[in-house]
Amino acid sequence: MMNYMVVDDNHIQVANGIFGDVTSFQTYPSGELESLKLEGKNMVVTHAGELVPAFTETPRRKNAPSVEFYKNGMIKAVMVEEQSEVMTPIGDIPAEKITFYPTGEVHRVFITDGKISGFWTEEEEKAYNIPLTFEFDFAAFTAYLSAVNFYENGAIKSITLYPGGKVLISTPVGEMETVIGFSLYESGELESVEPAAPVLVETPIGRLSVHDANAYGVHADSNSVKFNTEGKLLSVKTEENKIIAQSDQEYEIWKPAWKPHPLYDDELIAEAMQISFDWERNTVTFLSEQEATYPIHGTRFVVGKADTGQTGCTPANCASCSLCGSRNSTMK
């Protein structure tokens, strides 16, 4: 169903008004207006307040649409002309781009939205940012942010730090520093956090080194260490450990997969292995190149280094281990 009408060469009418000085627009394959670019001043009324979409091209700003739309005609995102104080569920926040839910509520607020390149560095972009202060049960800090993500009801969903920032988080498994950020449940409990560096975490199958180096450069909506609302560990990611799961005279070895480096064809990088815990079923699930679930009780887990050829055997556990004479060995 059409959600717009072309009035003339540079005017487009939508449900809430008319955009002028339109230089170009894009539509969805089904025909609805998806986005448009402007070269003159317009104003849109949103849950974040009255916004002036970007209409001036500068070397710093991204070559992106001024306004984006959902198929239902509601505004999906606005890149504003100048950084402005916008209304959010936690008060006014300076922003250069705001995204919205299909029902109009503020979804994500980007403090800055410059184009990082060889001609414009993160440090230069940081000059357009300002530190913000937050207080949670698990952390209190003042830091530069890249974005704040909200649930539809207005609760904070995640906070993504600006590159170079660092925040100390008190988690149910100990304190962790993060340089990416963390996510929360709608009720305010810590949901997940991305450690700044490998950190040892006690899990139901042993102590694991937790980290995902490939998480850098993304948002903090979902992270390596996840908890439920009660603070129990739900999942972790590891690049440094392999785990031997042994039961009934058989064993399988789980370890991170290796994949080509995105920039260097002759190099490989480790892809973090995800390990999830189901507290109701009392099981653990490994996800690497394959996926499998084991009962925690009745299965022996031996944790070792992923980058060594050692199985994790020691004289102390030799008598109770059957790895050497096992019938099967499946490498994941």
> How would residue 331 be classed by pLDDT, with cut points 50, 70 and 90?
very low
Mean pLDDT, range 241-264, rounded to an integer: 89
> How would residue 323 be classed by pLDDT, with cut points 50, 70 and 90?
very low
CA distance 324 to 143: 52
Retrieve residue 115's tokens.
């184009």
Q: Flag whether pLDDT at 279 surpasses 50.
A: yes
Retrieve residue 242's tokens.
């392999």
Mean pLDDT, range 229-240, rounded to an integer: 97
pLDDT at residue 263 in the model: 78
Retrieve residue 283's tokens.
């099981």
Residues 6+ apart with CB under 8 A from 91: none
Q: Flag whether pLDDT at 142 surpasses 70.
A: yes
> How would residue 247 be classed by pLDDT, with cut points 50, 70 and 90?
confident
pLDDT at residue 217 in the model: 63
> How would residue 319 be classed by pLDDT, with cut points 50, 70 and 90?
very low
Q: Flag whether pLDDT at 327 surpasses 60.
A: no
CA distance 124 to 126: 5
Taking phi over 0 as left and psi of -120 to 50 as alpha, with beta for the rest, 17 belongs to left
Q: How far is CA 237 from CA 196, 234, 258, 276, in A?
A: 13, 11, 14, 9
pLDDT in tens, 63-108: 999 999 999 999 999 999 999 999 999 999 999 999 999 999 999 9
The mean-pLDDT minimum among 13-17, 86-90, 154-158, 233-237 falls in 13-17
> How would residue 249 be classed by pLDDT, with cut points 50, 70 and 90?
confident
pLDDT at residue 1 in the model: 67
HEC assignment per residue over the chain: CCCEEEEECCEEEECCEEECCEEEEEECCCCCEEEEEECCCCCEEECCEEECECCCCCCCECCCCCEEECCCCCEEEEEEEEEEEEEECCEEEEEEEEEECCCCCEEEEECCCECCECCECHHHHHCCCCCEEEECCCCEEEECEEEEEECCCCCEEEEEECCCCCEEEEECCEEEEECCEEEECCCCCEEEECCCCCEEEEECCEEEEECCHHHCCCCCCCCCEEECCCCCEEEEEECCEEEEEEECCEEEEECCEEEECCCCCCCEEEECEEEEEECCCCEEEEECCCEEEEECCCCEEEEEECCCCCCCCCCCCHHHCCCCCCCCEEEC
Q: What are phi and psi of 118, to 5 degrees?
A: -65, -15
Q: Flag whether pLDDT at 216 surpasses 60.
A: yes
Per the prediction, the chain carries an average pLDDT of: 91
CA distance 89 to 325: 61
The β-bridge relationship of strands 174-178 and 199-203 is unpaired
Annotated domain spans of the chain: 1-127, 241-331
Predicted TM-score (pTM) of the model is 0.87
pLDDT in tens, 121-135: 999 999 999 999 999
CA distance 74 to 202: 46
pLDDT at residue 261 in the model: 77
> How would residue 270 be classed by pLDDT, with cut points 50, 70 and 90?
confident
Q: How far is CA 220 from CA 207, 212, 304, 323, in A?
A: 24, 12, 29, 40
CA distance 232 to 246: 25
Q: How far is CA 118 from CA 115, 124, 139, 252, in A?
A: 10, 11, 35, 47
Q: Flag whether pLDDT at 325 surpasses 80.
A: no
Q: Flag whether pLDDT at 308 surpasses 60.
A: no
Q: Flag whether pLDDT at 115 surpasses 70.
A: yes
Q: Flag whether pLDDT at 198 surpasses 60.
A: yes
Say which residue, 268 or 71, is predicted with more confidence.
71
pLDDT at residue 178 in the model: 97
Q: Flag whether pLDDT at 313 surpasses 70.
A: no
> How would residue 118 be classed by pLDDT, with cut points 50, 70 and 90?
confident
